[in-house]
């Protein structure tokens, strides 16, 4: 039987305790939540339920874990509370997809036990059966995760579980833990096979020491310390959920650089938009040590790192292992939430969603190299009939696009503005009932902003309303944006994904309008394409 318990911690204590899995909260589902769940007449159609982002049918979810592709299926594991709508009883939930778009939720893969909660980690396919858990004909899927000791003990270590039936059932390794440094904050292992050295590499966070540790292993069981990475100028919040991968530069598969991504728990400073978020370094990895290459930093970089996302709701992102070589993409997904208000989102019977999957590359940008994120092409299968607006002139005005049939709660849009003499151009989305979410480009400052102060229900937490701003140079005299709007989120990709802003919103269901605007002069909407999107449910 799982051990049930309740934690009562200050915010700082909770962050130090919880790490990438986040702060603690009530671990029992309230009677009101249970009632709301049982009375739901239309599962997956509740108020604010995302229609093309993954959410569990019910209960709390946070970090994506163990993303791996195997036998034609994309596996999405995630931090999950099987017993309630707030953080607690951390286990690995599990969903699968054949197309990165439609998801089938399966049974809990790795439940907590009386000794450990199951914190964040990764999964791999052990093709050479180095672990001995399977055979070469039936290689095991191996999950590598942090075991968090149940109270009153403290401490975190790295453990294994394996599956021989495509992730449907799991066996915890009898000799766990496989790596224990007797530390209280030692978590979130990302493991991958390093072909040049023919061994496994583990990247793991020493969270309150602001360090990333690298280990190697021949068999996933026996680990040897290699090196540390630290960057004092980037100690803006507790370090968590690292990932490390090589990306092609400007699409050239023969020219690659390594990216070390690190997430920040909410700290004194936190991420660029406040609270939790992610940053990354571009550099080299020689099989033992990662070295950041500051010569690759673009002009807009404010430190030795760059920001993953300029919104408040993209955290703990992790990339898929074992994507087929013929595909060749590096694809990841992040948790759309922020630890400042994560447990207060006004949703039931579920809480939290994952982002849309995004494909990653490195591109020459603004005098350096920037990691670009593009929505995966598979999302295009959700498009309904296209709506189009072209050569629309705006002079100090806001125009509704209702006459062009552009409206809705779930939309994909691409838009290209020619700013002309205007100081500002942009869009208002999910408008209605005195509500709007504003995407604004400031020509003089060359910044892109998302303003959700009037986006609907915003007063459930004081840190939720706000304006989130990203530097975005004007390229070729045009402003080009790619937007995904769901029932409770907006994701904006600018300059071919070099700039991303991801934010939750909670508008009235009836707020479905879209407007374009220009301020301070005359601008042109050269081309706007919009597609209402089908539900994945």
Q: Is 39 helix (H, G, I), strand (E, B) or coil?
A: helix
Predicted TM-score (pTM) of the model is 0.93
| pLDDT value for 42 | 76
Q: Does the pLDDT at position 445 exceed 60?
A: yes
Which has the higher per-residue pLDDT, 428 or 265? 428
| pLDDT value for 269 | 79
In whole angstroms, give the CA distance from residue 502 to residue 485: 10
Which has the higher per-residue pLDDT, 62 or 8? 62
Q: Does the pLDDT at position 2 exceed 70?
A: no
Superfamily of domain 383-532: Exo-inulinase; domain 1 (2.60.120.560)
Q: What percent of the chain has pLDDT over 70?
A: 92
Q: What is the mean pLDDT of residues 126-131?
A: 98
Where residue 200 falls among pLDDT bands split at 50, 70, 90?
A: very high
| pLDDT value for 267 | 64
Q: Two tokens at 150? A: 């149940």
pLDDT 10s digits, 364-385: 999 999 999 999 999 999 999 9
Domains 11-40+57-342+349-375 and 383-532 agree in fold: no
Catalytic (active site) residue 63: yes
Residue 144 and residue 189 in contact, taking contact as beta carbons nearer than 8 Å: yes
Q: Two tokens at 336? A: 């759309």
Q: Does the pLDDT at position 33 exceed 70?
A: no
pLDDT 10s digits, 446-490: 999 999 999 999 999 999 999 999 999 999 999 999 999 999 999
Q: Does the pLDDT at position 238 exceed 60?
A: yes
Q: Could you write out the DSSP letters of every residue in 349-404?
A: SEE-EEPPPEEEEEEEETTEEEEEEEE-GGGGGGB-S-EEEEEEEEEEEEEE-GGG
| pLDDT value for 151 | 83
Q: Does the pLDDT at position 76 exceed 80?
A: yes
From the list 63, 243, 263, 313, the catalytic residue is 63
Which has the higher per-residue pLDDT, 1 or 304? 304
Lowest mean pLDDT among 8-17, 196-205, 259-268, 347-356: 8-17
pLDDT 10s digits, 384-417: 999 999 999 999 999 999 999 999 999 999 999 9
Give me the residue spans of the domains in the chain.
11-40+57-342+349-375, 383-532
In whole angstroms, give the CA distance from residue 96 to residue 161: 18
Q: Does the pLDDT at position 302 exceed 50?
A: yes
Strand partners, 494: 481, 499
Residues shown for the chain:
537
| pLDDT value for 268 | 62
Q: Could you write out the DSSP letters of every residue in 94-156?
A: EEEESSSSS-EEEEEEE---SSEEEEEEEEEE-TT-TTSSS-SSSPPEEEEEEEEEPTT---E
Q: Find out if CATH 2.115.10.20 is the number for domain 11-40+57-342+349-375.
A: yes
| pLDDT value for 153 | 83
| pLDDT value for 20 | 62
Where residue 152 falls among pLDDT bands split at 50, 70, 90?
A: confident
Q: What percent of the chain has pLDDT over 90?
A: 90
């Amino acid at each position: 039987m799982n051990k049930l318990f309740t934690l009562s911690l200050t915010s700082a204590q909770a962050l130090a305790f919880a790490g990438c899995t986040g702060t603690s909260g009530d671990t029992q589902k309230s009677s009101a939540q249970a009632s709301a769940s049982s009375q739901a007449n239309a599962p997956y159609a509740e108020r604010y339920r995302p229609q093309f982002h993954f959410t569990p049918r019910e209960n709390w979810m946070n970090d994506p874990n163990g993303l791996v592709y195997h036998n034609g299926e994309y596996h999405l594991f995630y931090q999950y509370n099987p017993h309630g709508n707030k953080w607690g009883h951390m286990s690995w939930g599990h969903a699968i997809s054949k197309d990165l778009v439609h998801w089938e939720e399966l049974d809990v893969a790795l439940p907590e036990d009386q000794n450990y909660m199951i914190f964040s980690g990764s999964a791999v396919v052990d093709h050479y059966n180095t672990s001995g858990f399977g055979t070469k004909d039936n290689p095991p899927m191996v999950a590598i995760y942090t075991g968090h000791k149940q109270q009153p003990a403290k401490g975190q270590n790295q453990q294994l579980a394996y599956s021989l039936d495509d992730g449907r059932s799991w066996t915890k390794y009898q000799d766990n833990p496989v790596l224990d440094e007797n530390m209280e904050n030692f978590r979130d292992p990302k493991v991958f096979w390093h072909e040049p050295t023919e061994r496994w590499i583990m990247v793991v966070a020493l969270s309150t020491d602001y360090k990333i540790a690298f280990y190697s292993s021949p068999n996933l069981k026996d680990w040897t310390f290699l090196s540390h990475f630290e960057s004092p100028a980037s100690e803006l919040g507790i370090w968590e959920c690292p990932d490390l991968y090589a990306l092609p530069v400007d699409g050239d598969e023969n020219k690659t650089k390594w990216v070390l991504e690190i997430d920040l728990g909410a700290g004194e400073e936190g991420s660029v938009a406040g609270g939790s978020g992610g940053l990354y370094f571009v550099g080299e990895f020689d099989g033992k040590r990662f070295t950041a290459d500051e010569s690759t930093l673009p002009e807009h970089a404010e430190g030795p790192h760059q920001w993953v996302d300029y919104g408040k709701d993209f955290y703990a992102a992790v990339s898929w292992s074992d994507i087929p070589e013929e595909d060749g993409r590096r694809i990841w997904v992040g948790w759309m939430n922020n630890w400042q208000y994560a447990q207060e989102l006004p949703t039931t019977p579920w809480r939290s969603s994952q982002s849309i999957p995004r494909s990653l590359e490195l591109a020459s940008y603004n005098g350096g190299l920037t990691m670009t994120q593009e929505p995966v092409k598979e999302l295009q299968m959700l498009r309904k009939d296209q709506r189009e607006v072209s050569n629309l002139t705006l002079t100090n005005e806001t125009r509704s696009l209702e006459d062009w049939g552009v409206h809705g709660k779930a939309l994909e849009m691409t838009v290209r503005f020619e700013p002309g003499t205007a100081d500002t151009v942009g869009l208002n989305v999910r408008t209605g009932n005195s509500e709007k979410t504003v995407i604004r480009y400031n020509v003089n400052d060359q910044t892109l902003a998302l303003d959700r102060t009037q986006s609907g229900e915003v007063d459930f937490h004081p840190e939720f309303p706000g304006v989130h701003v990203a530097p975005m140079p004007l390229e070729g005299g045009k402003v080009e944006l790619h937007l995904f709007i769901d029932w409770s989120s907006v994701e904006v990709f600018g300059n071919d994904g070099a700039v991303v802003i991801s934010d939750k919103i909670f508008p009235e269901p009836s707020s479905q309008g879209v407007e374009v605007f220009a301020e301070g002069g005359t601008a042109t909407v050269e081309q706007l394409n919009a597609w209402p999107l089908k539900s994945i449910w």
